[in-house]
């Protein structure tokens, strides 16, 4: 197999040097993923213009560039399709994510793994365009007032949760059932809210932050105890997904718990 270890160990059972190398590769790739994520968003928002007094009005223009075009198109789609528009966006995102995940977990090809991870970063950067645009518009053109504290809180939460797993050696497998139930419950709430046309306030963001914190605890535990030392790309894929979803809801909370 291309670029794979011949005799990989389960991470928890691997020699200390191999275990350390696995986590360096994993978290290094996650860091690269977030750097690329931020760079892509910066590129997408080139030409985006905040216009005072214009907040989500149908037909409003927000300058030029990728973000402006996608944000305007989403607004038009929401005007014509209503609540179903965001569900269609999420369905398309889920389909593309499935492809990226199958590539990232393809143990026969390291190149396919990296390509899947890269595709996933691109997908999330596109998904974040409406949220960042909404923050720009609702913060009167001062997105740093929301994004800076959101980033600090997210990093602090990730660092604390990761340290909890590695420094305590607690068994977080008990969270699995609660996470499955909680995830289905939150999905049902999102669908009902979208169809019913009512917003989800700050309480929902807090609930999702708690859920994602639990997911990070569980997934970090799973990575440590079930993945093998040649699966650092798959591990990075899992962690990036959880970290960036946590960031989404922290931003949403700081933006005032408004509907995304």
Strands (E), 62-174: none
Inter-residue contact 238 to 219 (CB < 8 Å): yes
DSSP H/E element including 218: helix 202-226
pLDDT of residue 57: 45
Contacts of 143 by beta carbon, 8 Å cutoff, 6+ apart: 132, 135, 136
In tens digits, the chain (260 residues) has pLDDT values of: 445 555 677 887 888 888 889 999 999 999 999 999 999 999 999 888 776 655 544 445 567 778 888 877 776 666 665 556 667 777 788 888 889 989 999 888 889 999 999 999 999 999 898 889 888 888 877 888 899 999 999 999 999 998 888 888 777 877 878 888 888 788 787 777 766 666 677 888 898 899 999 999 999 988 988 888 889 999 999 999 999 999 999 999 998 744 44
Which of 242, 202, 199 lies closest to 218, judged by CA?
242
pLDDT of residue 257: 47
Secondary structure (3-state) at 231: coil
How would you classify residue 170: left for phi > 0, otherwise alpha for psi between -120 and 50, otherwise beta? Answer: beta
| Domain ranges for the chain | 11-254
Which of 168, 134, 125, 119 lies closest to 251, judged by CA?
134
Q: Which residues are paired to 228 by β-bridges? A: 10
Distance CA 209, CA 212 (A): 5
Handedness of CA 21, 24, 27, 31 (dihedral sign): negative
Query: pTM of the predicted model, to two decimals?
Result: 0.83
């Amino acid at each position: 197999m291309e670029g794979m270890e011949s005799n990989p160990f389960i991470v928890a059972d691997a020699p200390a040097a191999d275990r350390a190398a696995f986590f360096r590769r994993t978290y290094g790739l996650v860091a690269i993923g977030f750097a690329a994520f931020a760079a892509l968003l910066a590129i997408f928002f080139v030409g985006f213009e905040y216009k005072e007094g214009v907040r989500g009005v149908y037909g409003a223009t927000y300058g030029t560039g990728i973000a402006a075009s996608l944000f305007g198109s989403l607004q038009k789609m929401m005007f014509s399709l209503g609540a179903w528009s965001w569900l269609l966006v999420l369905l398309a995102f889920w389909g593309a994510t499935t492809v990226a995940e199958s590539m990232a977990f393809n143990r026969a090809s390291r190149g396919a793994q990296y390509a899947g991870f890269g595709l996933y970063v691109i997908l999330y950067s596109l998904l974040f365009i409406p949220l960042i645009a909404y923050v720009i518009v609702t913060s009167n053109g001062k997105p740093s007032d929301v994004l800076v504290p959101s980033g600090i809180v997210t990093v602090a939460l990730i660092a604390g949760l990761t340290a909890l797993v590695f420094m305590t050696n607690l068994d977080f497998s008990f969270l699995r059932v609660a996470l499955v139930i909680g995830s289905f419950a939150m999905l049902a709430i999102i669908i009902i809210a979208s169809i019913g046309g009512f917003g989800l306030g700050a309480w929902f963001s807090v609930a999702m932050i708690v859920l994602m914190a639990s997911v990070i605890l569980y997934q970090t535990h799973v990575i440590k105890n079930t993945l093998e030392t040649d699966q650092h790309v798959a591990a990075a894929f899992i962690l990036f997904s959880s970290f960036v979803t946590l960031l989404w809801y922290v931003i949403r909370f700081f933006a005032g718990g408004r509907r995304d």
